[in-house]
Chain A
């Protein structure tokens, strides 16, 4: 455990390489790509269909709610992997702690349901 600052050199090299790649590709595409401007070309959607109205159409907040709730509960599952791997060593202590954790999640879920967040048509 006796690192010299020079031991971090590979990291700097890696950083530099990553940065250089980004800059290189961006500059390269800019130079290489052909550029043709026309009123049709500069349209928002290039699918041949005339665009109508504002691109920023309001989307129902329900989508976001469901999405964020999904992410929330999904991420919590991550904690179960290490628990599963160390299931034996953690034994009953681990089990109890996991039960507490899951019951908190469950409480949150009940709250979400009671709040009516998942009711699509309200």
Chain B
């Protein structure tokens, strides 16, 4: 359940801007897996870092949250949430996916955990495995930075190695696609 006391939220800010806030929840172990259910993540001011258009406030807030949780549990974990309709596409671009791609069984324990966290009364496999563009969707992400071989995972290492690259590109150079004439007989 969501606790609305002031320490329930963590804020991302600098001297002049408040870039975002997320709920300060603890991860939980369910069926041998560590889950973190994100109740709230909201970005506010726009983050501008010269030469890095990929470092948006939403992406950076997610990276801070993932690194915080990883440094608590010190093992791979499953980040999930009931993502609002308007934010579903954005979260899919950040690597979140439907339950059916997670590759673990939907047990009664896990159903209860997701129901308790989301306040959705009756969760079933169909509901978790179908993307509904007109409603909120349960989306999942596996945070597994162990490949990095680093002692302390920072938000920036999450952005560099754990999240999918932003379409805005960051430091990557743009490459021009070679234009080719499409064959009229091609099926593509």
Determine if chain A interacts with chain B. no
Residues of A within 8 A of B (CB): none
Q: Which residues of B contact A (CB under 8 A)?
A: none
